């Protein structure tokens, strides 16, 4: 990238300098001409041509003052034949006898001195020299002078251009380095990341597009690292969860095989229980995997959450009575129907209620409150247990998280129930939050939008 940037800078600089030099040299030629003319200077080669043409036509210098006047007045716009101070055009015949003086300063019949004759330009007609024209006071210039001046100006422009190009190239090198450095760092970090080093981050400075790219890269690396860590933790947790029921099953089966236990339904019961536990765990993991992949099959229909809550509460009545827990249902009148998959929301409510029953006091009370606000229907389940320790509150929806590991496992909990519940609720574009009630006990609040944005 750096080389490409530098090449681009070089091309741009060279094109710009060449353009400036070309335009400057073109402009210099015409500027030189008009500057000379404005200063009252006469282009000698064309003066000589015109005078010679005049002579060829007229065969004498009689009336040649019109040609001289044309040149003497060209450009400076002063009085007829009047040049700038000390400037004049003198026409002499072949013998050096002054015939005309554009300023009229030289008297007729005056002769050009030897010096003047040397400086004068001869006028030819065929092979013969028929006269001389003498510009005085720096009044004449010719094509050679113009070329010389234009070449000098062009060289000056070229030199200036080359110096500017050198400075611009140095600046370009610095800029190319500066621009390519973060990209190089990003490329290196991306390469390391692809080799498995997920700790790679790039230093982000400034607030331009490159900084945005750096931030996006760092976010991506964060997510990849988080995903890798949670995958590792998940694998370890799954192995851990499988180990206990498998060990219990194995010990029981070996005891049955060795004849230590008699093979009867009573001794097979623990094996069956552990098997059921394993089946539930596998089912839960499958549900989570499907939810993670966004492939959980959901059948959305408009249904009443109140009716669903009543059904779930009825299902848990017997269990609640056996634990001497009262299930108090407080339904707000006329809540709108919710667009949901009733089987999945029933699974969520069942999970919340069975948790509350497990942690409520005995005898105790669980309040199930249904309310509706604009666009939302809300169900809060509040038990009168010990609640959730504050440090554990942010973690209860994490996979395999249990506040009291041994108690939860003894009671058949896998630590996946709330994680699944939240995934299911989020698949309905709703929210599920846990809190401790001011009067004690935990309260889980499920909120579902009346119109899910499908
Ligand atoms: P588990 O299958 O272990 O119950 P969950 O995901 O359902 O797993 O719950 C995670 C943890 O949250 C539980 O182990 C428990 O410590 C805590 N928890 C859930 N519901 C309650 C509640 N009503 N009161 C107190 N703690 C609770």
Q: What is the pLDDT of residues 131-144, one digit of tens each?
A: 999 888 766 667 77
Taking residues 296-317, what's their average pLDDT?
Answer: 95
Judge contact between 214 and 202, C-beta under 8 A.
yes
Taking residues 427-451, what's their average pLDDT?
Answer: 95
Is residue 81's pLDDT more than 50? no
Q: What is the pLDDT of residues 320-374, one digit of tens each?
A: 999 999 999 999 888 899 999 999 999 999 999 999 999 999 999 999 999 998 8
402 lines ligand 1 (CB under 6 A): yes
Atom 27 (ligand 1) nearest CA: 388
Integer Cα distance of 101 and 138 in angstroms: 15
Strand order of the β-sheet with 364-373 is 325-331, 364-373, 376-383, 442-449, 431-436
120 lines ligand 1 (CB under 6 A): no
Does the N-terminal peptide bond of residue 363 adopt cis geometry, omega within 30 degrees of 0? Answer: yes
Distance in Å, CA 167 to ligand 1 centroid: 71
Task: Write the CB contacts of 117 (distance below 8 Å, at least 6 apart in sequence).
Answer: 96, 132
pLDDT at 139: 60
Atom 19 (ligand 1) nearest CA: 355
pLDDT at 53: 93
415 lines ligand 1 (CB under 6 A): yes
Distance in Å, CA 401 to ligand 1 centroid: 8
Task: Write the CB contacts of 83 (distance below 8 Å, at least 6 apart in sequence).
Answer: 40, 72, 76, 89, 102, 103, 137, 139
355 lines ligand 1 (CB under 6 A): yes
Distance in Å, CA 402 to ligand 1 centroid: 6
Main-chain phi, psi angles of 331, to 5 degrees = -105, 130
Residue 221 parent element (H or E): helix 209-257
Atom 20 (ligand 1) nearest CA: 355
Q: What is the pLDDT of residues 181-220, one digit of tens each?
A: 888 999 999 999 999 999 999 999 888 888 999 999 999 9
Distance in Å, CA 420 to ligand 1 centroid: 12
pLDDT at 138: 64
| CA geometry: angle 248, 399, 284, nearest 5 deg | 60
Is residue 78's pLDDT more than 50? no
Q: What is the pLDDT of residues 3-30, one digit of tens each?
A: 777 788 888 888 888 888 888 877 777 7
- Band (pLDDT 50/70/90 cuts) for residue 83 is very low
CA distance readout (Å), 166 to 153, 159, 170, 175: 20, 11, 6, 14
| DSSP for 115-157, written as a single string | HHHHHSEEEEETTEEEEEEEEESS-EE-HHHHHHHHHHHHHHH
Distance in Å, CA 307 to ligand 1 centroid: 25
SS3 content of the chain, % helix, strand, coil (to 5): 55, 15, 25
Atom 21 (ligand 1) nearest CA: 355
User: Which atom of ligand 1 has the smallest separation from the CA of 419?
Assistant: 6
Distance in Å, CA 288 to ligand 1 centroid: 17
Q: What is the pLDDT of residues 359-380, one digit of tens each?
A: 999 999 999 999 998 889 999 9
Atom 12 (ligand 1) nearest CA: 396
- Distance, C-alpha 448 to centroid of its chain: 37
Integer Cα distance of 357 and 228 in angstroms: 35
| Strand 431-436, strand 364-373: pairing | unpaired
Is residue 85's pLDDT more than 60? no
Distance in Å, CA 312 to ligand 1 centroid: 19
User: Which atom of ligand 1 has the smallest separation from the CA of 418?
Assistant: 6
User: Which atom of ligand 1 has the smallest separation from the CA of 407?
Assistant: 14
Longest dimension (CA), the chain: 159
What 8-state DSSP symbol labels residue 94?
Answer: T
Cα Rg for the chain, rounded, in angstroms? 52
Distance in Å, CA 379 to ligand 1 centroid: 18
**Residues of the chain above pLDDT 70, percent:** 91
Q: What is the pLDDT of residues 386-403, one digit of tens each?
A: 999 999 999 999 998 888
Q: What is the pLDDT of residues 215-274, one digit of tens each?
A: 999 999 999 999 999 889 889 989 988 998 999 999 999 999 999 999 999 999 999 999
User: Which atom of ligand 1 has the smallest separation from the CA of 381?
Assistant: 23
- Band (pLDDT 50/70/90 cuts) for residue 409 is low
Mean pLDDT of the chain: 87
User: Which atom of ligand 1 has the smallest separation from the CA of 405?
Assistant: 14
User: Which atom of ligand 1 has the smallest separation from the CA of 402?
Assistant: 14
Where does residue 101 fall: left (phi above 0), alpha (psi -120 to 50 degrees), or beta otherwise? beta
pTM above 0.75, yes or no: no
Distance in Å, CA 355 to ligand 1 centroid: 6
Secondary structure tally for the chain: helices H, strands E: 11, 13
Q: Which of 94, 96, 105, 100 is nearest to 67 (CA)?
A: 100
pLDDT at 79: 41
User: Which atom of ligand 1 has the smallest separation from the CA of 416?
Assistant: 6
- Band (pLDDT 50/70/90 cuts) for residue 161 is confident
- Band (pLDDT 50/70/90 cuts) for residue 77 is very low
414 lines ligand 1 (CB under 6 A): yes
Q: Would you call 86 exposed, middle or buried from its count of C-beta atoms within 10 A (0-12, 13-18, 19+)?
A: exposed
- Band (pLDDT 50/70/90 cuts) for residue 107 is low
What 8-state DSSP symbol labels residue 230?
Answer: H
325 lines ligand 1 (CB under 6 A): no
Count how many Cα atoms sit within 13 Å of the Cα of residue 8 in the half-sphere of its side chain: 7
């Amino acid at each position: 990238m750096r080389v490409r940037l530098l090449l681009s800078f070089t091309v741009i600089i060279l094109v710009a300098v060449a353009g400036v030099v070309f335009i400057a040299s073109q402009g210099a030629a015409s500027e030189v001409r008009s500057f000379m003319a404005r200063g009252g200077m006469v282009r000698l080669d064309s003066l000589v041509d015109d005078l010679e043409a005049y002579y060829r036509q007229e065969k004498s210098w009689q009336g040649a003052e019109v040609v001289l006047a044309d040149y003497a007045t060209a450009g400076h716009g002063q009085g007829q034949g009047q040049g700038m101070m000390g400037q004049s055009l003198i026409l002499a015949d072949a013998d050096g006898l002054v015939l005309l003086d554009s300023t009229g300063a030289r008297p007729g019949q005056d002769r050009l001195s030897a010096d003047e004759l040397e400086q004068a330009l001869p006028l030819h007609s065929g092979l013969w020299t028929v006269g001389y024209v003498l510009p005085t006071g720096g009044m004449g210039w010719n094509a050679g002078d113009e070329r010389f001046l234009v070449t000098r100006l062009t060289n000056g422009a070229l030199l200036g251009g080359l110096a500017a190009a050198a400075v611009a190239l140095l600046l370009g090198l610095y800029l190319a380095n500066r621009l390519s450095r973060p990209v190089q760092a990003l490329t290196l970090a991306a390469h390391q990341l692809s080799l498995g080093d997920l700790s790679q981050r790039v230093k982000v400075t400034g607030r331009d597009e490159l900084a945005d790219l750096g931030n996006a890269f760092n976010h991506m690396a964060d997510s990849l690292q988080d995903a890798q860590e949670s995958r590792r933790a998940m694998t370890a947790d799954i192995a851990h969860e499988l180990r206990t029921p498998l060990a219990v099953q194995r010990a029981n089966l070996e005891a049955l095989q060795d004849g230590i236990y008699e093979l009867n339904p009573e001794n097979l019961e623990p094996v069956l229980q552990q098997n059921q536990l394993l089946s539930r765990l596998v089912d839960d993991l499958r549900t989570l995997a499907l939810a993670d992949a966004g492939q959980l099959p959901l059948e959305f229909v408009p249904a009443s959450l109140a009716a669903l809550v009543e059904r779930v509460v009825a299902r848990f009545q017997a269990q609640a009575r056996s634990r001497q827990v009262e299930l108090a249902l407080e339904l707000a009148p006329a809540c709108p129907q919710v667009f949901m998959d009733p089987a999945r929301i029933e699974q969520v409510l069942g999970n919340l209620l069975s948790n509350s029953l497990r942690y409520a006091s005995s005898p105790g009370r669980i309040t199930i409150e249904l309310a509706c606000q604009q666009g939302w229907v809300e169900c809060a389940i509040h038990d009168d247990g010990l609640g959730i320790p504050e440090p554990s509150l942010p973690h209860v929806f994490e996979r395999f998280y249990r506040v009291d590991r041994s108690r939860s496992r003894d009671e058949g909990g896998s630590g996946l129930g709330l994680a699944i519940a939240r995934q299911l609720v989020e698949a309905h574009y709703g929210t599920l939050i846990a809190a401790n009630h001011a009067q004690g006990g935990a309260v889980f609040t499920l909120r579902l939008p009346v119109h899910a944005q499908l």
